[in-house]
Amino acid sequence: MLLIILLGLITSCLLVPLGKYFRSGRSVFLSLLPAGLFAYFASHLSHIGAGNIIYESNKWVPSLGINLDFRLDGLSLLFSLLITGIGTLIFIYASSYLKGHQYLDRFYGYLCLFMSAMLGVVLSDNILLLFTFWELTSISSFFLIGFNNDSTVSRKSALTALGVTGLGGFFLLAGMIMIGEIAGTYTIRELVTSTAIIREHQLYPVVLGLVFMGAFTKSAQFPFHFWLPGAMKAPTPVSAYLHSATMVKAGIFLLARFTPILGGTPEWSYTLMIVGGITMLYAGVHSLFRTDLKGVLAYSTIAVLGVLTFLIGLGTKEALIAASTFIIAHALYKASLFLVTGIIDHQTGTRELTQLSGLRKVLFPVFIAGTLAALSSAGLPLSFGFIGKDLIYEATLAAGPQLAVLLTIVAVSANIGLVAAGFMAGIKPFIGNLPAQLEKVKMPSAAIWLPPLVLGILGFVLGSLPGIVGDYIISPTVQVLSVEAVEFKLKIWHGFNTVLLLSATTIIAGTIVYFFNKPAISKTVFLERFNRYTPHYFFEMSWGAFKRFSSWYTDFMHNGYLRSYLIRIIVFAEILLVYELIRGGPIHIDYSKLIPISIHEGVNVLILLGALYLTVTTTSRLTAVVGTSIIGYAICLMFVFYSAPDLAITQFTIDTLTVVLFVFVLFNLPSFLVIPNSNKSIIVRDGLVAGSFGIILSLTAIKVLQVPTEKGISEFYGEFAYSLARGKNVVNIVLVDFRGFDTMFEIVVLSISALGVYSLIKLKLKTSEKE
Amino acid sequence: MKSVILQSASRYLLPILLLFSVFLLLRGHYYPGGGFVGGLVAAIAFVLHSLAFGTAETMKMLQFTPLSIIPVGLIIAAISMLLPVFFGLPVMTGLWIEQPIPVVGLVGSALFFDIGVYLVVIGVVLTILFTISLETH
Amino acid sequence: MELLLVVLIGALYASGVYLILRRSMVRLLLGIILLGNGTNILIFLLGTITKGKPPVMAADMSVFTDIYADPIPQALILTAIVISFGLTSFAIVLLKRVYALLGTDDLDTLNTPQEEDV
């Protein structure tokens, strides 16, 4: 399975050098990749359909618990088939849709990458691995959504999508690590057996919240839904792929994957049902107010995602069956509707519902595809959507006496919105009179109208033969979700009962809504008035505020003047040190332990201080250099006084060499800068900062002197200097033996500095620099 | 700066200082001294010579660029560091010849390490000072 | 005596900080040297100073019989002194190079990027 996932990544990498061969119509051959993968997964249907799970494990980072563990079970198979199957059609469609696009090869590269990432998400058996692929979908979808990168709006919506899903990713990572730490394992196979530990852990609500954040952002649940309509700026094949079968379903997949691990508690159920319920109602209503075809589809997609979240939250056997069936039904008709929209946009140049009508006369096969998809979305008998809708109502009706009525009403009203939205997108543009300006619209090539038609027909084929889907896909999926074998049959006809009545009501009400809800610009304008109260507005505001804060902070911190950087660092260090000094309590000095001051030492220090004063105040370079060297020699004497002969010789020689160095370059050095009207207040400020730094360090030094030093290592060195290293000068032993590695690296550093000096000087000034 | 006194003085000082630097290097294990100190003293000897006769003259006397001493020193230090590995011991284990050698005393891998340090220090200091000085004058 | 050294450390740090806050590059360099010296003495002092007892064994002994100065700070400072020479020389050459290019000691003039840098 690793190879299967990597295939897309490899193709994507190969497209970098070979891309130029795939910028033309030849790109259609790339669809062989998803087609082959689809065949691979389809070949496992009977095996997985019988309830088996295939595991595969490869080592990656075993020390962190991250292994390339994969599993192919019903749930994975369902998603893999959707990803590769719809992927194949999208690949074919895109080769015509984006024909002649300058960067068609890149587009396929991103698409392959994205497909691989999605397959990785659904096939992972390790939650950290799942997360890795999860992030990869966010990143690759960023490139897909922002594919028209010369448009500002497109770039911005890609960034919003990445921001929201990426933010969710952070939460998800935290949640997954917590799950792993609580359960002691990161593999899903083992997590399923330790559900009790996780559910009863006191951090369970936190884990749940974190995982939900990941799923809700990805699956565009209220209040994070706003990135999805924005993502409609992407080329239509991308929207069709991302929003029917893949990207947004990843969140749903995550919830499904975690149902056997985290699910079944009241917290899980109520959160999901409430969030899903709000999302589907909110988006269902919203979709009716749109006049842009893709806008309608975007909001109806959000509504469907709400329904799915809601069903997973409900968590009963019926609900899980309904959810898995509805995922397939929705993928089929929504992909088809998106592709139809793309064709209309491609051929007429507009997606405004108010300007489109009568297209059946010029785009007949597209009209058939749109109608089939719309009917499936409405849930007409014989369509797969019908079965999906029926199962939803069955699930809500079986939810228990108190909830059943409420949940059914919510489900029915959301579905009415979906029916109307489906009609608006799939049928509305084709009926009525053909306006004069649309009469010249031509039929596109077969590669572009065939995919939606195939999907539309497939919706009805599966709808007529639900047993196959039910046995081979739905039942192993539900088995994975509820961790037990389930016996059920998907049927076309359930007989005359409440469910059928509800279905009929939904379709009729949806049709009525469709006829009374005339798309009009005024409605969109009306909605815009509420923009200030939407989560999107809040997101934009906080985003803007964050950017303003960042630029203010950068301007404040980085003004390009070395000394202002230094002064901030120093003042900050001062604050930390003062805090530490105050925290440490008062300073005591034990005078009895101090070494008395002898005259020659005192004089030495006085000379040093005098030289220091000279160095700081002088305006002559020569005086300053002399001052510094006097300081060096005085320090050398100090080393002599305090039993450090090695240091004394080193300091002496180095100081001499430094003087020579200065002598060599002194006359090439600039004389001290004299700032004509130097500001007194700056000197005072710097003096204060420097002075206080000196005082603080002195106090710190006294403070440290109070603490008895830990002599363990020194004593070790002293004791073993001779027995281990056969030497008597411990300083030298430390340098060449005990800490030889340090010395080795030190001479390497020294050599580098010599090389640096050498090359800086020998490097000939470039002609441009000489000027 | 070409004073006769300095020239004749440095002519004698150079060998004496070099000898002193070797002395410092060899006795470093037992008394104050060692590779760093010895190397610095040797470098000072050459710098003194260059001050008296001019850097070009000193370079001529040396017959090789100081830069080339650096890799030699680094290699000696690295070999003495890695030598124990060939005897199956951890890196930097001290290896010693049991019989003391006259004047030098006990000879071991640590001494060769110190010689490496000594050469690197000479090379570094002379490279820095001589390139600067040659460029300036 | 320690207190005198403490004062000295404070003075070295204060002067070093003051000098690196100047606009002049040469002063910046001198400031860095002073800060290095201050740090060396700080390390030296904190390892507790001892008079007249170098960490070298008597010729006929193979262990220390008396107290002796702490060898660790000494080893640290020794490498620090040598490295500081490398740093100083590199900085001085860099400074020379900048001066040859821009003809100024003013750090602020480095802020305006020259055209060849772009």
CATH number for the domain that contains residue A572: 1.20.120
What per-residue confidence (pLDDT) applies to C111? 61
Report pLDDT for A632. Answer: 93
Query: Closest approach of chain B CAs to the CA of A561, in angstroms?
Result: 29
Looking at residue A633, what is its pLDDT? 93
Tens digit of pLDDT for each residue in A154-182? Answer: 888 888 888 888 889 999 999 999 998 88
| pLDDT for residue A597 is more than 50 | yes
Percent share of chain C, pLDDT over 70: 91
pLDDT of residue B98 exceeding 60, the answer is yes
Measured in whole angstroms, the distance separating CA A161 from the mean position of its chain's CA atoms is 10
Judge if A567 and A551 occupy the same domain: no
Return the higher-pLDDT residue of B40 and A678.
Answer: B40
Domain with A466, as residue range(s), is: 266-517
Number of other residues whose CB lies within 10 A of the CB of residue C110 = 16
Q: What is the pLDDT of residues A330-382, one digit of tens each?
A: 888 888 888 888 888 888 888 887 788 788 888 888 888 888 888 888 888 78
Indicate the residue of C46, C52, C85 with minimum beta-carbon distance to A654. C85
pLDDT at A450 > cutoff 60:
yes
Pair A394, A381 in one domain: yes
Using the Cα atoms of residue A449, residue A452, residue A453 and residue A454 in order, give the sign of their dihedral.
positive
Nearest to A130 by CA among A120, A116, A119: A120
pTM value is: 0.67
Chains A, C: CB pairs < 8 Å: 274
Residue of A614, A699, A707, A753 for testing the chain C interface, max C β-carbons within 10 Å:
A753
CB contact under 8 A, C11 and A609: yes
Same domain, A549 and A573: no
Task: Indicate the pLDDT class of residue B102, thresholds 50, 70 and 90.
Answer: low
* C residues 78-97 closer than 8 Å to A (CB): 78-79, 81-90, 92-97
A733 touches chain B (CB under 8 A): yes
Same domain, A545 and A629: no
In this structure, is residue A17 part of a structural domain?
Answer: no
C36: its two tokens: 């290095």
Q: Which residue has the higher pLDDT, A46 or A678?
A: A46
Nearest to A722 among C21, C57, C78 (CB): C57
A113-117, A197-201, A402-406, C104-108: which is most confident: A113-117
What residues in C contact B132, CB-CB < 8 Å?
Answer: 89, 92-93
Residues of chain C contacting residue B121, judged by C-beta atoms under 8 Å apart:
82
- SS3 state of residue A493: coil
How far is the C-alpha of A183 from the C-alpha of A199, rounded, in Å?
Answer: 10
Cβ contact (<8 Å) for A737 and B125?
Answer: no
pLDDT in tens, A421-449: 888 888 888 888 888 777 777 778 888 88
pLDDT reading at A696 higher than 80:
yes
Top pLDDT among A586 and B70 is at: B70
Q: Specify the pLDDT at position B137.
A: 61
Per-domain residue ranges of chain C: 2-52+68-112
Mean pLDDT across the stretch A45-59? 83
Predicted local distance difference test score (pLDDT) of residue B105: 66
Residue A363 in domain = yes
Q: Where a domain ends, among A495, A528, A558?
A: A558
Chain B residues lying within 8 Å of C57, measured CB to CB: 30
> Could you tell me which CATH number the domain at C2-52+68-112 has?
1.10.287.3510
Residue A212 forms part of a structural domain: no
Q: Which residues 6+ apart lie within 8 Å of A614 measured at CB?
A: A623, A624, A626, A627, A630
A55, part of any domain: no
At A215, is the secondary structure helix, strand, or coil?
A: helix
Residue B109 belongs to domain spanning: 4-136
Which pLDDT tens digit goes with each residue over A648-663? 999 999 999 998 888 8
**pLDDT at residue A557 in the model:** 79
> Average pLDDT, stretch B89-115?
75
Q: How far apart are CA A628 and CA A663, in angstroms?
A: 13
Q: What is the mean pLDDT of residues A382-398?
A: 83
Looking at the structure, tell me whether residues A578 and A704 fall in a common domain.
yes
A615, A643, A704 member nearest C53 (Cβ): A643
* B128 contact residues in C (CB cutoff 8 A): 86, 89, 93
Nearest CA of chain C to the CA of B106: how many Å? 14
When divided into structural domains, chain A yields a total of 4
Residue A449 host element (H or E): helix A446-464
What is the sign, positive or negative, of the torsion defined by CA atoms of A122, A126, A132, A138?
positive
Tell how far CA A5 is from the center of its chain: 20
Of B73, B76, B71, B64, the residue nearest B130 (C-alpha)? B64
Does residue A57 sit in helix, strand or coil? strand
| Range in A391-405, A444-458, A585-599, B91-105 with the lowest mean pLDDT | B91-105
Beta-carbon neighbour count of residue A224 at 10 Å?
24
Average pLDDT over residues C84-96: 88
A673, part of any domain: yes
pLDDT in tens, B39-87: 999 999 999 988 888 888 888 888 888 889 999 999 999 888 888 888 8
Please report which confidence band the pLDDT of residue A104 belongs to, taking 50, 70 and 90 as the band edges. confident
Least confident range from A217-226, A256-265, A566-575, A672-681: namely: A672-681
Closest residue in B to C90 (Cα–Cα): B128
In a domain, A104, yes or no: no
B neighbour chains, 3+ CB pairs within 8 Å? A, C
In total, how many domains does chain B have?
1
Residue A234 pLDDT level (bands cut at 50, 70, 90): confident
Between A726 and A13, name the one with better pLDDT: A13
Residue of A690, A660, A624 lying closest to C105 (CA atoms)? A624
CB A159 within 8 A of CB A230: no
CB atoms inside a 10 Å sphere around CB A193: 13
How do residues A200-224 score in pLDDT, each as one tens digit?
Answer: 888 889 999 999 999 999 888 888 8
Tokens matching residue A172: 């998800």
Contacts of A293 (CB under 8 A, 6+ apart): A341, A344, A345, A351, A352, A353, A356, A424, A425, A429
Q: Which residues of A touch C95 (CB under 8 A)?
A: 669
Interface with chain B: mutation pick from C77, C79, C85, C88, highest number of B CBs within 10 Å: C85
Who has greater pLDDT, A743 or A244?
A743
* pLDDT number for residue A771: 44
Kindly report, residue by residue over A729-769, the tens digit of the pLDDT: 888 888 888 888 888 999 999 999 999 988 888 876 554 45
With 80 as the cut, is the pLDDT of residue C65 above it?
Answer: no
CB spacing of C18 vs A562 below 8 angstroms: no
